[in-house]
Amino acid sequence: MTSVKGAVALVTGGRRGLGRAYVEALIRHGAVKVYATARQPASSEDPRIVAETLDVTDAESVRSLAERTGDVDIVVNNAGVLIAGPLLTAAPEDVRSIFEANVFGALRVAQAYAPILARNGGGALVNMHSVFSWASGAGAYGASKAALWSLTNSLRLELAGQDTHVLGVHAGFIDTEMVTAIKAPKISPELVAERVMEALVAGQDEVLVDDVTEQAKAALCGPAAQLALGRLRG
């Protein structure tokens, strides 16, 4: 169980979309300070929100930020990229870029902040997955989110000894700029952030935000063909 009230939090990719919703939800639930990070951060009129520069694909950027933010209790690994397209025609550099941000970037942040969380009593690490951690049809993006899910499950075991709560978040399409061109039912980023706050306080290991995500996880027990997103919607 993690108390948000009175905590200091850090959100990667915290400038807009889901990241901004996380920042606002943390403040709403009582966080005393939230570091809202981005490659090009935007300042806030709220003194509790501190804009910081962070590129999760750059090890030095992650290390430098960790040195400046040693008071963090909650880390939300939200930063990521989406480059659409099938695997068979994907450019190798695009696949590498996706994994560099979505997998290795999240791991860099976890490695940098694990000692800080330990010193501050344990705290929490939140990793943003996707329905495509389980559902098929999202090319390299889905593969990266599946890898992040596996990474999160291992980090949960490794961080248990220092009392760090590790929460994995799965959701379908979220109504942000990243998926503007995708024509599909979407949920609000505010709903996702609120569900995550509830899951933190409840001490959950995993939160499935919407119905399609619950269907995807249930489908893991059946034939692999059932994991196509179209079948889940049906």
Whether 44 contacts 51, CB under 8 Å = yes
59-101 per-position pLDDT tens digit: 999 999 999 999 999 999 999 998 888 999 999 999 999 999 9
> What structural domains and CATH numbers belong to the chain?
8-233 (3.40.50.720)
Query: pTM to 2 decimals?
Result: 0.93
Among 9-23, 41-55, 106-120, 214-228, whose mean pLDDT is lowest? 214-228
153-183 per-position pLDDT tens digit: 999 999 999 999 999 999 987 776 665 666 6
pLDDT at 233: 56
Q: At CA 56, angle to CA 51 and CA 57, rounded to 5?
A: 140
DSSP assignment of 109-169 equals HHHHHHHHHHHTT--EEEEE--GGGTSB--HHHHHHHHHHHHHHHHHHHHHGGGT-EEEEE
* pLDDT(51) > 50: yes
Whether 12 contacts 76, CB under 8 Å = yes
**48: CB partners within 8 A, 6+ apart:** 27, 31, 32, 33, 34
Token reading at 104: 């290795």
Residues of the chain with pLDDT > 70, as a percent, come to: 93
From the candidates 22, 35, 113, 141, which is the catalytic residue? Answer: 141
Question: Annotated catalytic, 141?
Answer: yes
